[in-house]
Structure 1
Amino acid sequence: MTAPVAPVQLHQVTRHYGMGEARVNALSEVSVTFPAGSWTAVMGPSGSGKSTLLHCAAGLDRVSAGRVLLAGQDITHATDTALTRLRRRTLGFVFQDFNLIGSLTAEQNVALPLKLAGARPSRQDVRAALAHVGLQDRVRHRPRELSGGQQQRVAIARAMVTRPSVLFADEPTGALDTNSARTVLALLRRMVDGAGQTVVMVTHDPVAAASADAVVFLSDGRIADRLPRPTAAQVAERLTRLEG
């Protein structure tokens, strides 16, 4: 049986900003593959290139050198229009600050990606996504009427409703209390184990990283270490070593 194509692959990716003496290398010849149906946490000291890696992998930022493959397609030189179409079909995004629209209900926020893609949202699909994150009784609530944990669960439902093969999460538990963070991590675990989706998560939290299948550590724009089947103690120790 042929192994499934990894949905996200970076080959010798470099991303620099500025010119001449002001040039900064955010990523330097980074090669990494995020296997299908897996959850990878990306960690490293501040300024190590974590968010840049996420943005390059998702086609939100252009690489200076190297190649990026998304869902088996080389997106390195793809047009903005082609990238937008591919992202809408393939990717979901969850951020630390939720990015919900305050004037819309939970139900309307979840339906938004489908509307932006030109589809007519099915109320059944939207409500099923909210039920999946335990918010079936909050469909008509607006963000200000929800706790931080509930808002992040709406954001996850919004990312799930298009059935993306890859979910990119940037500090998804960073603004949450311990119980809410635990709920969000359990939802991400279910997406991987139950639906076979791929999760790539930037985090600074060793406990959150320990929920993943593997951790990739960055330092000064390069991959410094990898840790399969992580524990929180192992993650904290390696992160301390990199920061020290």
Structure 2
Amino acid sequence: MGYVDTQITNQLLDAPGAAAPAVELSGVTRVYGARSAAVRALDNVDIAFAAGSWTAVMGPSGSGKSTLLHCAAGLEKVTSGRVRVAGRDITDASDAELTRLRRTVMGFVFQSFNLIGSLTAEQNVAMPLRLAGQRPPRRVVREVLASVGLADRARHRPGELSGGQQQRVAIARAMVTRPAVLFADEPTGALDTRSARTVLGLLRAMVDDGGQTIVMVTHDPAAAASADRVVFLGDGRVVDRLERPTTRQVADLLARWEE
């Protein structure tokens, strides 16, 4: 199985008639180190993620999937190429501009939850708005917590919550600003099967009901099968993809690329 033509991949992810891409990487290369020690984590990647879609990014260890997510979100600078998020070219954006965009246009959910242990669930959820200089009404924060099934846990601190509940707080925190794009890095990696299913259902609702865009890195075929499509990376390039994936299809294709 050879590499997929990047133009074909773009057409499939951002089909004619579809909304403008929420995230677009054009000719993106990311190199770590220099000279003989240089490692090309991304190699001239062209890919677009349509607005209102959910894409899972998969690949063997070292394939470049986390680097792709970090470059797409402006967490890492690209070596060459351009990155656009929600219509904005963020390639050369200043730290101040990127910070503003992360508080308004982008949301983040990570495997490690990244909650502040000394704050309650509702205080953690309100934090992005407070950092943006807003004073969120408690009613709004409580509504977001209720939407993730945690209305009765608003006053609990992270240490008083299960792993699945903590991840739901993290999702509520990402939802409260209604970001155009949610970047998720292994969001179910630390969860049991039942909690993972709940979290995936919440992400699905963000796309179907909220029209938001999700770009998610995962190693779990079941999690990937919840997405609209799966993109596979190998050696820093897009090597394959699946539309409307099933768990079996994802597992089979992943096994093929890991051979």
TM-score by length of 1: 0.98
1:8 and 2:27 matched:
no
Give unpaired runs (5+ residues) of structure 1: none
1:189 to 191, 204, 224: 204
Paired position in structure 2 for 1:114: 129
Paired position in structure 1 for 2:258: 243
1:199 and 2:221 matched:
no
- How far the C-alpha of 1:3 sits from its partner, in A, is 4.9
1:231 to 236, 246, 251: 246
Give structure 1 regions of 4+ aligned residues with deviation exceeding 3 angstroms: none
Count matched residues: 243
- The percentage of counterpart residues that share the same residue type is 72
Paired position in structure 2 for 1:73: 88
Paired position in structure 2 for 1:83: 98
Q: What is the one-letter code of the residue matched to 1:38?
A: S
CA distance in 1 between partners of 2:186 and 2:162 (Å): 17
- How far the C-alpha of 1:179 sits from its partner, in A, is 0.2
1:218 to 227, 230, 233: 233
- How far the C-alpha of 1:81 sits from its partner, in A, is 1.0
- How far the C-alpha of 1:83 sits from its partner, in A, is 1.3
1:18-167 equivalences in 2 (<5 Å): 18-167=33-182
CA distance in 1 between partners of 2:140 and 2:70 (Å): 28
C-alpha RMSD of matched pairs (Å):
0.9
- How far the C-alpha of 1:4 sits from its partner, in A, is 3.0
CA distance in 2 between partners of 1:175 and 1:96 (Å): 6
Q: What is the one-letter code of the residue matched to 2:244?
A: R
- How far the C-alpha of 1:32 sits from its partner, in A, is 0.8
CA distance in 2 between partners of 1:34 and 1:143 (Å): 33
Q: Is the 8 A contact 2:109 2:182 kept in 1?
A: yes
- How far the C-alpha of 1:62 sits from its partner, in A, is 0.4
CA offsets per residue over residues 61-87 of structure 1, 9 Å max, x none? Answer: 100011101111111111111111122
CA distance in 2 between partners of 1:232 and 1:12 (Å): 30
CA distance in 2 between partners of 1:106 and 1:78 (Å): 32
TM-score by length of 2: 0.92
Give unpaired runs (5+ residues) of structure 2: 1-16
**Secondary structure of 2:231 counterpart:** strand
CA distance in 2 between partners of 1:31 and 1:124 (Å): 42
**Secondary structure of 1:237 counterpart:** helix
CA distance in 2 between partners of 1:89 and 1:131 (Å): 22
CA distance in 1 between partners of 2:146 and 2:204 (Å): 16
